[in-house]
Amino acid sequence: MNKEKKAQKILEDEGKLSIFAALNHLTIAAAQTLLQRLLEKPESSEEFERYNFAAERSEDFQAYRSGLNDGKKNGNEEGLGKGLALGLMIGAAATTYVWHKVVK
Contact 17, 28 (CB under 8 A): yes
CA 49, chain centre distance (Å): 21
Q: Which residue has the higher pLDDT, 62 or 35?
A: 35
pLDDT category at 12 given cuts 50, 70, 90 is very high
Inform me whether the pLDDT recorded for 5 exceeds 70: yes
Exposure class string for 29-55: b at 16+ Cβ within 10 A, else e: eebbeebeebeeeeeeeeeeeeebeee
Per domain, the residue ranges of the chain are 1-43, 46-104
- Kindly give, in sequence order, each residue whose CB lies less than 8 Å from that of residue 26, ignoring residues fewer than 6 positions away: 20, 34
CA distance linking residue 96 with residue 80, whole number of Å: 24
* pLDDT score, position 31: 87
Q: For the segment 62-95, what is each residue's pLDDT rounded down to a tens digit?
A: 777 767 666 655 566 666 677 777 888 888 888 8
